[in-house]
Amino acid sequence: MSSSNRDRTASRPARPRRDDEKEGIERWIAHVFAGFAQTTVLGLPALWVVLQTPYIYVEAKTAGIAGYAATILAVGTVRGGYVSVGHPWPTLSASTMAERGGSFQFLRRAALLSGTLMIATYGASVLDIATGSWVLGIVSAAVFGAVGAGLVPHLDRGERRWTFARAGYYAVGLGLVAATTDPLDRDVGSALSPELFLFLVALCLVDVVVALRD
């Protein structure tokens, strides 16, 4: 190899390694970062509802932070295959949008992650208030978030029984929000709370209806 070729080779920037080329803690961090991106972007409707929570403001924020963090870590761990939950993590990518029904896969994931965050936040808030223990609220939020993330590979499946299971999952999350925050009352919380809550309801309904029609 000539000196000029060696110089060009030496000066060429290294190609960034893909997630599947990384090893050890670096690989896990890459998957957790992907979990952070999915949970934050696709779970944004639920996160916004949590931020606007009236009445149980402190309990919801505390549980919301714990549930959010646990969901991110669990998504990254399951996505990387470090813990088996019976099915591999269903991947989403830019090419997914090009597939038939690809946009609905993103919609379903948004509904599932939002449902997980709602259950983790408001389920734990109820336990916090009922027992008077903020420690139990934090721990239960983390458990609900982690378990919910572990259920995603099952709930994301197309069989009719899993569609009904998703419907029940959504109903629990939305029911907890409705029971604890009165989301349709414009006089408390954010003026956009009714629209945000109804958007979550619509998101979940569209997923279930489209899945049942297929």
pLDDT at 74 over 70: yes
Lowest mean pLDDT among 19-33, 71-85, 147-161: 19-33
pLDDT at 36 over 90: yes
Q: pLDDT category, 9, cuts 50, 70, 90?
A: very low
The helix/strand/coil state of 54 is: coil
Q: pLDDT category, 123, cuts 50, 70, 90?
A: very high
Q: How far is CA 140 from the centre of its chain?
A: 17
Q: Average pLDDT over the chain, rounded to whole? A: 86
Residues 6+ apart with CB under 8 A from 22: 30
More confident: 168 or 24: 168
pLDDT at 172 over 80: yes
Alpha carbon distance 111, 202 (integer Å): 10
Residue 214's pLDDT is 74
